[in-house]
Amino acid sequence: MKRQNRYFPLVCIMMFWFTISFITNILGPLIPEIIDNFQLKDLAMAGFIPTSFFLAYAVMSIPAGLLIDRLGEKPVLFTGFLMPFIGSMLFACFPCYEVLLASSFIIGLGMAMLQTVINPLQRVVGGEENYAFVAELAQFVFGAASFVSPLVYTWLIHALSPDMYKPGNNALLDTLASLTPMELPWVSLYWVFTALLAVMLIIVACVRFPHIELREDERSGSSASYFNLFRQRYVWLFFLGIFCYVSTEQGTSVFMSTFLEHYHGIDPRTVGAQCISWFWGSMTIGCLAGMLLLKLVDSRRLLQISGLISMLLLTAALFGTADMAIIAFPAIGCCISMMYSIVFSLALNTATANHGSFAGILCTGIVGGAGGPLLISLLADATDLRTGMCLIFLFMGYLTFIGCWAHPLINNKTIALKELFKRKK
């Protein structure tokens, strides 16, 4: 692809990642609103919202790869944005609990398709030689959007509240106020999603993207390759690792604001939402720090250290004071930020063949975003939320355990600290 034609599609891809993250990681601040406004009887009913979203990943991750082979990248990319557009508009027009469940599942199906097609697309658009840099840039944009979306939620809730909103002062707020029930101001966020997704659909329709030639580690294999992998013990162990990571990430972010409200009386619309924002923001900082640390420390040792620190922070968040919880919850994001990439790379570096099929199985482990919050909410309903969130210790403990037993064929290359800053002659 010519250099002068590469930059705009690359900017579009970064916009795609921003949109995906902006929509995906907003559930945490919304949970207290959902429980209150829809008068849910127990926490499990709220837990079904992230469950329906991430269940869609398990359903669509592998089929999306097959669709790219059959239909090409552009139809899959367009459909991937069309489905969350439909899901967001559906709930924005009919805001009730049952529709929210269906909407979350539809949005999740589209997001699974998008993540499957955008990863190889950014490799082709950015060029093989720049793939590592482009991937990290995408991770940074993804984290930035997760940081911004809870702040947008807080602003909308405040601006559309009956005490603050005055018609005629802001055209955007006037439009959102006319479309959103007064007693459900947070639903306005779904109109923002709808508008953002409409822009993405126009971009996909108008921009010409290069054809994707999937590499072996991106291509779904035959049914025989999957059956062969399913017989390998390490496949299930690493699948469980991805499951536990996403359960940790979502279990912490989804219930953080609710925990702070229940045990410390902290307003979920302001400080609670800000804590979730900083959780994702600290993950972005952790990713940048992880790039350096992976040059200095063996990834398995780094996984062990980050796991132990994460469990210490979770202890402070669940059993400490309000001030400790406000600091410890976001800090967990920094510590777990590199776990996903480490577990994924250890897994692929353990396999000798069928890397594309193995990657598909690992991506299906994102269903942990469905299973983790559901398990936490069920235990919380049987006991209390603090006890329910103690399940996260098990998820973190297993991730730490991976760092002890993993034996990859290829280890990450490390150098001494003095060599990192040594000037080349």
Q: What is the pLDDT of residues 178-188, one digit of tens each?
A: 999 988 999 99
265: domain range?
221-404
Rounded percentage of the chain residues whose pLDDT exceeds 70? 90
Over range 272-284, report the average pLDDT: 92
Both 87 and 119 in one domain: the answer is yes
What residues have CB less than 8 Å from 357, skipping those under 6 apart?
Answer: 220, 221, 222, 225, 226, 229
Instruction: Please check whether residue 425 lies inside any domain of the structure.
Output: no
Dihedral of CA atoms 371, 372, 378, 380 in degrees, nearest 10, equals -170
Both 198 and 236 in one domain: the answer is no
Both 210 and 261 in one domain: the answer is no
Three-state SS annotation for the chain:
CCHHHHHHHHHHHHHHHHHHHHHHCCHHHHHHHHHHHCCCCCHHHHHHHHHHHHHHHHHHHHHHHHHHHHHCHHHHHHHHHHHHHHHHHHHHHCCCHHHHHHHHHHHHHHHHHHHHHHHHHHHHHHCHHHHHHHHHHHHHHHHHHHHHHHHHHHHHHHHCCCCCCCCCCCHHHHHHHHHCCCCCHHHHHHHHHHHHHHHHHHHHHHCCCCCCCCCCCCCCCCHHHHHHHHCCHHHHHHHHHHHHHHHHHHHHHHHHHHHHHHHHCCCHHHHHHHHHHHHHHHHHHHHHHHHHHHHHCCHHHHHHHHHHHHHHHHHHHHHCCHHHHHHHHHHHHHHHCCHHHHHHHHHHCCCCCCHHHHHHHHHHHHHHHHHHHHHHHHHHHHCCHHHHHCHHHHHHHHHHHHHHHCCCCCCCCCCCHHHHCCCCC
Q: What is the CATH number of the domain that holds 345?
A: 1.20.1250.20
Over range 291-299, report the average pLDDT: 80
Nearest to 159 by CA among 134, 190, 194, 186: 186
Both 263 and 390 in one domain: the answer is yes
Q: Which amino acid is at 340?
A: Y
What pLDDT is recorded for position 4? 46
Instruction: Please check whether residue 424 lies inside any domain of the structure.
Output: no
Rounded percentage of the chain residues whose pLDDT exceeds 90? 47
Answer with the residue of higher pLDDT: 257 or 8.
257
Both 136 and 75 in one domain: the answer is yes
Where does a domain end: 183, 214, 245?
214
Instruction: Please check whether residue 338 lies inside any domain of the structure.
Output: yes
Both 296 and 225 in one domain: the answer is yes
Calculate the average pLDDT of the chain.
86
Instruction: Please check whether residue 413 lies inside any domain of the structure.
Output: no
Instruction: Please check whether residue 197 lies inside any domain of the structure.
Output: yes
Both 191 and 288 in one domain: the answer is no
Instruction: Please check whether residue 421 lies inside any domain of the structure.
Output: no
| Residue 380 neighbours by CB distance under 10 Å | 25
Answer with the residue of higher pLDDT: 210 or 237.
237
Q: What is the pLDDT of residues 8-20, one digit of tens each?
A: 888 899 999 999 9
Contact 114, 142 (CB under 8 A): no
Instruction: Please check whether residue 192 lies inside any domain of the structure.
Output: yes
Instruction: Please check whether residue 40 lies inside any domain of the structure.
Output: yes
What pLDDT is recorded for position 424? 47
Decide if pLDDT at 191 tops 80. yes
Answer with the residue of higher pLDDT: 211 or 331.
331
CA R_g for the chain: 21
At residue 208 the predicted structure's pLDDT band, cuts being 50, 70 and 90, is confident
Which of these ranges, 221-230, 307-316, 362-371, has the smallest mean pLDDT?
221-230
Where does a domain end: 184, 214, 244?
214
Both 146 and 187 in one domain: the answer is yes
Where does a domain end: 188, 214, 240?
214
Both 182 and 288 in one domain: the answer is no
Decide if pLDDT at 136 tops 90. no
Both 207 and 230 in one domain: the answer is no
Both 163 and 43 in one domain: the answer is yes
Both 238 and 384 in one domain: the answer is yes
Number of domains, the chain: 2
